[in-house]
Amino acid sequence: MTLLHTGKAGTDESSDILIEITPSDTLSITLESKVESLYGKKIRAVIEETLKDMGITGATVHARDNGALDYAIRARVKAAVRMGRGEHDT
């Protein structure tokens, strides 16, 4: 299933990451993180791998990291994608 609209998940709290994902033909990831130099490559890899697992080949991703572990990055990407596909509880 493709993205229908923008999906957003996460917070700016410590140990979390805020992910905003918008439909696009190509994949681009913008990352803001205080640990960009140490972990930027890894964070981007986790985001890309999660998107690939979900069948997303094209999206504009904006990520604002505050020290999130891999499980949290994956969770927020998954949630943003699912919301972008129209899934919600309200």
Tell me whether residue 18 or residue 59 sits nearer to other proteins (CB atom): 18
Applying CB under 8 A, which part among 21-29, 36-44, 54-62, 64-72 lies near other proteins? 64-72
Q: Is residue 25 involved in binding other proteins (CB under 8 A)?
A: no
> Does residue 10 contact residue 71 with C-beta atoms inside 8 Å?
no
Q: Is residue 37 involved in binding other proteins (CB under 8 A)?
A: no
Q: Is residue 89 involved in binding other proteins (CB under 8 A)?
A: yes
Cα-based distances in Å from 67 to 7, 15, 16, 26, 85: 21, 4, 6, 27, 27
